[in-house]
Amino acid sequence: MRRSRIYFLWLDRQAPRRFRRGVSLHGHTMHSRESLAFLPRFARRIPLLKQAVAIQERNYRERHGRPLDYSRGWWTPPLPEREAFHLERQQVESVLGLDALISLTDHDGIDAALHLHLLEESRGTPVSLEWTVPFGPSYLHLGIHNLPRAQSRSWAKGLAAYARRPAGAPLSELLAELSRLPEVLVVLNHPFWDEPGLGLAAHLALVERFLETHGSTIHALELNGNRPWIENKAVVQLARARQIPVVSGGDRHGSEPSVTVNLTNASTFDEFVREIREDGVSHILFLPRYREPFQLRLCEMVWDILRDYPELTGRERWTDRVFFRTLAGSELPLSRCWQGDGPGAVSASLAIIRLFGRGPVRLAVRQMLWQGNEMLP
């Protein structure tokens, strides 16, 4: 890891005071299309949700004569770009007492950053995205931070085109061209998360092969705030073995700010990138919310995604924020097809999930999950 260092705010309250700025990397906004392909695997872990999904799959198959294709659906995080920017900045400035540098990374798109450039307060925000990279039988996610403003649209278009049809230009050429831009930071996000469900051993082998082939163009590995500590420790070991810096990645999707940020004395985001790329210097801070059980934080994120947001006109309910593509090619929100929370099995499951929004229920769940919480420093 060369000169990477990790701090835990609950152990070292003075850590932020040795720096001038906090850098929030990898946050998502309403412009980010999040795949629903994970839903069947996720549902298998929650009995009531598992039953609801199974019922809907059976009903769909009986009605249409074909299995439900999750690849035609996606959900979007609740927060618009300005609210997401303010959320991250407020934490860095008010909680840590530092100036903030914010890099939002929606999936395969830069609309959030470009919209923020229209506002005086956020005009200097880096143009960044999370790039979905097909690789072998699966895919990986790369954080592409700080694209040149003048070429950002063409870069985003080219990267998205590769994600759709990787048979075009070789990946090595795209990554080499990115790496030749001195202000750009390329991060392998959550390297050990087998998000596509390939199987852990096969996924780890794929990551090793990716780094063997393209490691010289990857500037850092991510310690992800939404992944368990045992996984992040494995990323640290991989970074040490390959002499690659690690950086933070909040991976925020809901309305809670990131639980991990970078600390720096750099004056600008360009200077921060040079620290990582040229000096291998990275200071990562984990905030106290990261100590809570991973399963509890996962439940809180699901609650954030499913709850109502009366202040978001046109996106108040979760069904306004989940979309699907019809066989005719139209893109529609679920709210155009469902009343309320939809069919009975879905509505009943969501009613139970929403109990988590009540204080006593959340407290009881927290106490239960603390019993088996993994040990942190």
Q: Per residue of the chain (377 residues), what is the pLDDT tens digit?
A: 568 899 999 999 999 999 999 999 999 999 999 887 766 666 666 555 666 677 767 876 777 777 777 778 899 999 999 999 999 999 999 999 999 999 999 999 999 999 999 999 999 999 999 999 999 999 999 999 999 999 999 999 999 999 888 876 789 999 999 999 999 999 999 999 998 888 999 999 999 999 999 999 999 999 999 999 999 999 999 999 999 999 999 999 999 999 999 999 999 999 999 999 999 999 999 999 999 888 778 878 878 888 899 999 999 998 999 998 887 888 999 888 877 766 655 666 666 666 666 667 666 666 666 655 566 77
* Domain architecture of the chain: domains with CATH: 3-32+77-291 (3.20.20.140), 34-75+295-370 (no CATH)
N-term to C-term CA, the chain: 19
pTM: 0.91
Question: Cα torsion for 205, 206, 208, 213, to the nearest 10°?
Answer: 140
CB atoms within 10 A of CB 11: 10
Q: State the residue for tokens 């990857």.
A: 218
How far does Cα 328 stand from its chain's mean position?
30
Beta strand 322-325 pairing with 331-333: antiparallel
For residues 126 and 103, the answer to whether their CB atoms sit within 8 Å is yes
What is the chain's length? 377
Residue 53 gets the label, from left (phi > 0), alpha (psi -120 to 50) or beta, of alpha
Q: What is the DSSP letter of 141?
A: E
